Amino acid sequence: MRRVRGAWELVRDFREGVEDPVEHAYKVLGAIRAWEPRVNAFISLEAPELVVEAAESVKRRIESGERVGRLAGVTVSVKDNICTSFLPTTAGSRMLDPYISPFNATVVERLMAEDAIVVGKTNLDEFAMGSTTELSAFGPTRNPWDLSRVPGGSSGGSAASLAYGGSDVSLGSDTGGSARLPAAYTATTSLKPTYGLVSRYGLIPYGNSLEQISPMARSVRDLALLLDVMGGWDPMDSTSLKVGGLDTFNSPPLDVGKLKVCVVREMAEGADPIIESAFWSILERLGSEGAEVVEVSVPIISKALPAYYTIAFSEAASNLARYDGVLYPAKGFSGVWEEFIAESRMRGFGREVKKRILMGVYALSEGYRDEYYIAATKVRRVIRDEILRVTRKCIIAAQAAPILPPRLGERLDDPLKLYAMDVYTVIANLAGVPALAQPIGFHSGLPIGIQWLAGPLEEGRLVSLGTLIEELTGLSGVIAG
């Protein structure tokens, strides 16, 4: 383990001439060369000479006194279900390999407008459907802290690139914990924003009503900086909230004496004893600092996981119906229309994606829609109401994962165990509230994480709390190696 400076510190040092952005770019490229053959965090990489050229441009502008952006010289990796016009966007699927989007996602445009440097597109479970980043058509990603284990999913490539120093910040997506679970497994941080705070324009959809593009980094302050750049209203996204001028980075320090933390009993049960111990230890530490920690019960939470997967699979079945072999790379051979579509999907989709589409179609089919999909949306509404009730009084503390990072292949043979890895994280997506994940310790060299949930548009409170936790644990800016 070693520590590196945060993105916000790098930008400051670049501007003050303390650090050379070109030398920093070479360091990041060196880390990618050293780690990538073993980790497989990236699906595609930007040409090294273009990365260096972008860093040289930042350096020249700083030296000439020109204005540079808030992310000047910062390297960023982008999850490969977020569209870019200069690198392929595959969503980890042969169905889209080697699709190149004609436009950039709004979040990519906003980062590049602030002089961030994109180094590559990161690996993910196919169409973001997974919790381990083993279900990619381009091979599994390994956890830099232990190469025999998974980095979580589906944003495992983004988290892994951060964990070994292959980027300063990253863009992930979070449908049911897809950014927070990898953060917990790699000693990095992630923030699932309030639904609608960050534009989804240019995100290849899996579950529209659940997913959000999420900032990922190695420190909470970097998350805040990234959120301030990428967040705010976007007319290209019909679900976008009309908010702007985010200033999460400058959130005031937390008054611990006024902090109230709620532990929802149903979100704190069933984890491995090692994770439970770390979870309660940090809460005891908060209590000793003056915070009020109380337990509450929300019984409907026990229905969250089946409700989430019913909704997610149903929306996936609808979203992925567009892939018929006509507009995208994977194509069939038959001259009969129905057979052509079937062949295209057979060749393009992996096993897990096919399975989720079939279950989604079943949940939406005549005679079962009310029993499954409509029932799940009613459960979601009750969960949202209950979570909003609790977050009006306190910040919710919950475990980020029920188990330590499993070994590669360990969970793939049992779908129920695979899906249960999201048991604590799906709540924030169903409720549409912000959730922050960060490291709180290690066990036998493996990271352990925690997550915090607040009310809608209360990202600033989470950033203040997360910064306090970093001060208590000292776990900020750590990377493997």
**Residues designated as active site:** 79, 154, 178
Q: Can you read off the two tokens belonging to residue 142?
A: 């390994």
Q: Can you read off the two tokens belonging to residue 160?
A: 């892994």
To the nearest 10°, report the CA torsion of 389, 454, 214, 285: -140
Return the SS3 of 44. Answer: strand
Q: Do strands 446-453 and 395-399 pair parallel, antiparallel, or not at all (unpaired)?
A: antiparallel
Q: What is the spatial distance between Cα 245 and Cα 467, in angstroms, rounded to a whole number?
A: 21
Is the separation of the CB atoms in 247 and 228 below 8 Å?
Answer: yes
Q: Give whole-number Cα distances, 387 to 317, 331, 355, 397, 429, in Å.
A: 28, 45, 31, 12, 11
Q: What is the spatial distance between Cα 180 and Cα 184, in angstroms, rounded to a whole number?
A: 6
Query: Where do the DSSP E strands lie in 301-425?
Result: 395-399
User: Helix %, strand %, coil % for the chain, to 5?
Assistant: 45, 15, 40
Q: What is the spatial distance between Cα 265 and Cα 285, in angstroms, rounded to a whole number?
A: 19
Q: What is the spatial distance between Cα 216 and Cα 181, in angstroms, rounded to a whole number?
A: 11
Q: Can you read off the two tokens belonging to residue 61?
A: 């502008």
Q: What is the spatial distance between Cα 428 and Cα 181, in angstroms, rounded to a whole number?
A: 13
Q: What is the spatial distance between Cα 217 and Cα 401, in angstroms, rounded to a whole number?
A: 18
